[in-house]
Amino acid sequence: GHNILERLDAGEVVIGDGGFVFALEKRGYVKAGPWTPEAAAEYPEAVRQLHREYLRAGSDVMQTFTFYGSDDKLENRGNNQRFSGRQINEAACDLAREVANEGNAMVAGGVSQTPSYLSCKSENEVKAIFKKQLDVFVQKNVDFLIAEYFEYVEEAEWAVQVLRTAKKPVAATLCIGPEGDLNGVSPGECAARLVRAGAQIVGVNSHFDPMTCVKTVKMMKEGVQKAGLKAHYMTQPLAYHTPDCNRQGFIDLPEFPFSLEPRILTRWDMQKYAREAYNAGIRYIGGCCGFEPYHIRALAEELAPERGFLPPASEKHGNWGSSLEMHTKPWVRARARRDYWEKLMPASGRPYCPSMSNPDGWGVTKGHADLMQQKEPTSQEQLRALFAKAKANQ
């Protein structure tokens, strides 16, 4: 069925999809920096194809490509659009539904944090922005709603309060780690607040690697239970290893966003994540930035025994490398086994590079002048000041 709460109540595993802005940026359809989803209207064939690849890999959810799709974000800092926010959101809904109908997938309409909140606009102003996106999701009849990628629990609560008015299931994920949101609200307290605001599914997405996200959601689960509340749990982590991150997550890493490749998880790392998440009681298991379809396939393959089936894409993939039995070279055929891939310590091939970095720690949070957003482009003068500050912080 298309009711996510019925599926979760029945104990089913729901496999999410991967992060569209990062995947489409690598394919040449999204601009890094603004990370906005105008490709839904500009290059629908690219968005449709990515949906199809995730569906084939085992995704049960097609998320509308509406991340950072609020009007204020679409036109922030001189990001001129050929399409209106409404056109972009409508196109995204149509593409997600079209591909969901090719399989047995649900469509989720998503909203994310806004420049308006960061610029200290009022609760009513911020909620009006979410309402504009919600109006499209209701008109297009998505199956459920997700408030995702929030650094501050307060803004996420506002989003949930708006989304719940549509009388559809609501999920809420914060981009936080074990240290909590950027104001220091603990994961447990954040989760309890989101459930009280009306979210039936809570968890985390982005900013941290899978194992960190599972750890954070375990803390959320404890907080919800301690408050005497009930919820379902979800994780949509990065596909990057981030053991060196601070509270702000991977955007503070010096490699963000153009040199993260050495940190990418392998498909075998993903199987381990799927198992850890499942063992922690998390039943909505997906991905965010850095995920590609083969990563989602790994989640579906790891949980195939519980789910009772494999995704279509497994027709081109043997269990734990078994397809290598068909390789021409005998030493590669010798790798067609689980204990080989499970125990391998993959090298990065970068002898002069460290295995860990020192994240930036500018310590800037909402209310600081540096975080005020603007419609006009960032000026050369503003950039010079930032370059000087970065040098001073090195």
Q: How far apart are CA 15 and CA 284, in angstroms?
A: 6
93 is in an annotated binding site: no
206 HSE (CA, 13 A, CB side): 23
Annotated binding residue 213: no
> Got the DSSP string for 259-322?
T-GGGBPPHHHHHHHHHHHHHTT--EE---TT--HHHHHHHHHHTHHHHT---GGGGG--GGGG
| Tokens standing for residue 3 | 């009711």
Pairing of strands 284-285, 106-111: unpaired
Q: Using alpha carbons, select from 42, 68, 19 the residue that is nearest to residue 373.
A: 68
Beta pairing, strands 14-15 & 284-285 = parallel
The two three-digit tokens of residue 331, written as one number: 């030493």
Side-chain-facing half-sphere of 172: CA atoms under 13 Å: 31
Binding site, annotated residues for Zn(2+): 288-289
Binding-site residues, in ranges, read: 288-289
